[in-house]
Amino acid sequence: MPEVSMTVNGKPAKGQVEGRTLLVEFLRESLGLTGTHVGCDSSQCGACVVHVNGRAVKSCTMFAAEAEGAEVRTIESMAEPDGTLHPIQAAFQAHHGLQCGFCTPGMVMSAAALLAENPKPSEAEIREYLEGNICRCTGYHNIVKAILAASGQDVSAIAAE
Amino acid sequence: MYAFEIDRPATLADAITALGAEEAQALGGGQTLIPALKQRLAAPARLVALSGVAEIKGIRTGADGALCIGGGTTHAEVAAGAGAYPALAALAARIGDPAVRNRGTIGGSLANNDPSACYPAAVLASGATVVTTNREIAADDFFEGMFTTTLEDGEIITEVRFPVPEKANYQKFEQPASRFALVGVFVAKYADGVRVAVTGASEDGVFRWSEAEAALSKDFAPGALEGLSLSGEGMISDLHGSGDYRAHLVAVMTRRAVAAAG
């Protein structure tokens, strides 16, 4: 079995993988980073979104071997070591952007990727960017609101639907 | 997924060698192939991941002014970097979703030739040239029906060269669950005529609508298409739409593309 090594959340990580080992399996099962969720396992739902070299990707649709040498960032890296939430996470909490919470790791990582490339997105841009993130509680409204708030924009115009 | 070996060559030469192994298959961005492997629709003994091959990534302008896109270039990179051909950049920006666009590649999409994929329409409507490790293939010779191309085993798409049109537009009627085209029409106007390519509709995959091309070459206006229609015969018919519905959509999307191209 080939060995892969990468940087995960700023720390070196390595392990044995099969050719078919998915990045999400390596993160969850080899490294114990279970914050990244597997929802559909078919690249539809986005619960497994992580950042690879700064880009949001679906970790259920990428092989671990392909992340050799990459910088990987997961939901576990978002909060401060003392537990202080990342501004996006804090906004999700403040605006009730999560219900069951299963999709939340992917939503937060997608939101972080969006804000990195577009620091002040419009509501429409946020909704478009989240096309590949599905919330089965259908809580999109407050997710969008949370991301707008996390970007420092006024959310008072958005109705509390 | 069945087990397989995976290679991650860093150079094109190593990739060609690796693909010479028995039952080896190239892996582009994996956004189609990995789901197919999970469903056990494919069972290669060895995958050769092309994501580490820097030589086939990037966008450049060719000596003849063509926009040349490396086969390993992702949809996100095309969306951001193909400003010289705005209709193509806009097409890339609407494939799948942002995370899919960060992995999926133009070469992978073309080699797969999904009958509902967007890129085949752009390549065919632009009369682009598909450059591989063995040869240069004209768009008109590349596509050979649903999921079939003229590519041979072990042949890798290294670059796609798009002549930049005077005007162009792509209109995609999206199947909202898959985000593939229920019907997509790419219209491109060149000095020597107009090309119209249709994806998502035909059971034979992407095709050129020659009647519309002839009419638009005379008069590049939506009105020129009046009275033109396609038969539902041979069109894809599924729970999302009948063949007749798709045939109707082709005419609608063509008119919209011409209007949007100006």
Coil vs helix vs strand at B219? coil
Our count of domains for chain B comes to 2
How do residues B78-100 score in pLDDT, each as one tens digit? 999 999 999 999 999 999 999 99
Q: What's the pLDDT score for residue A106?
A: 98
Does the structure show a pLDDT above 80 at A1? Answer: no
Domain end call among B144, B162, B180: B162
Q: What's the pLDDT score for residue B117?
A: 97
User: DSSP characters for chain A?
Assistant: --EEEEEETTEEEEEE--TT-BHHHIIIIIS--TTS--SSSSSSS-TTEEEETTEEEEGGGSBGGGGTT-EEE-GGGTS-TTSPPPHHHHHHHHTT--SS-SSHHHHHHHHHHHHHH-SS--HHHHHHHGGG---TT--HHHHHHHHHHHTT---TTS---
Give the structural domain span for B92.
5-162
Does the structure show a pLDDT above 90 at B200? Answer: yes
Residues B196 and B215 in one domain: yes
Residues B51 and B106 in one domain: yes
Cβ pair B49:A66 closer than 8 A: yes
Cβ pair B34:A56 closer than 8 A: no
Q: Which residues on chain A are in Cβ contact (under 8 Å) with B76? A: 55
Instruction: For residue A161, name the pLDDT band (cuts at 50, 70, 90).
Output: low
Domain end call among B162, B182, B203: B162
Q: How near does any CA of chain B get to the CA of A91, in Å?
A: 22
Residues B11 and B134 in one domain: yes
Predicted complex ipTM = 0.95
Coil vs helix vs strand at B208? strand
Angle at A128 between CA A122 and CA A132, to 5 degrees: 140
Residues B204 and B81 in one domain: no
Domain end call among B145, B162, B179: B162
Coil vs helix vs strand at B87? helix
Q: Which of A38, A43, A57 is closest to A109 using CA atoms?
A: A57
B30 and chain A: CB distance < 8 Å anywhere?
yes
Name the token pair of A54. 């700064």
Instruction: For residue A159, name the pLDDT band (cuts at 50, 70, 90).
Output: low
Residues B223 and B200 in one domain: yes
Residues B145 and B63 in one domain: yes
Greatest Cα pair distance, chain A, in angstroms, is 55
Residues B61 and B173 in one domain: no
Name the token pair of B75. 């949809």
The domains found in chain A, sorted by start residue, are 3-76 (3.10.20.30), 87-150 (1.10.150.120)
Q: What's the pLDDT score for residue B262?
A: 84
Name the token pair of B90. 């806009």
Q: How near does any CA of chain B get to the CA of A23, in Å?
A: 12
B94 and chain A: CB distance < 8 Å anywhere?
no
Residues B151 and B222 in one domain: no
Residues B142 and B177 in one domain: no
Q: How far is CA B73 from CA A18, B126, B199, in A?
A: 26, 18, 21
Q: Which of B185, B165, B187, B163 is closest to B174 using CA atoms?
A: B185
Residues B158 and B177 in one domain: no
Residues B254 and B189 in one domain: yes
Residues B101 and B188 in one domain: no
Does the structure show a pLDDT above 60 at B124? Answer: yes
Least confident piece of the model among A36-45, A73-82, B173-182:
B173-182
Q: How far is CA A158 from CA A110, A115, B75, in A?
A: 21, 19, 32
Q: How many CB pairs under 8 A join A and B?
A: 78
| Owner of token pair 């209007």 | B259
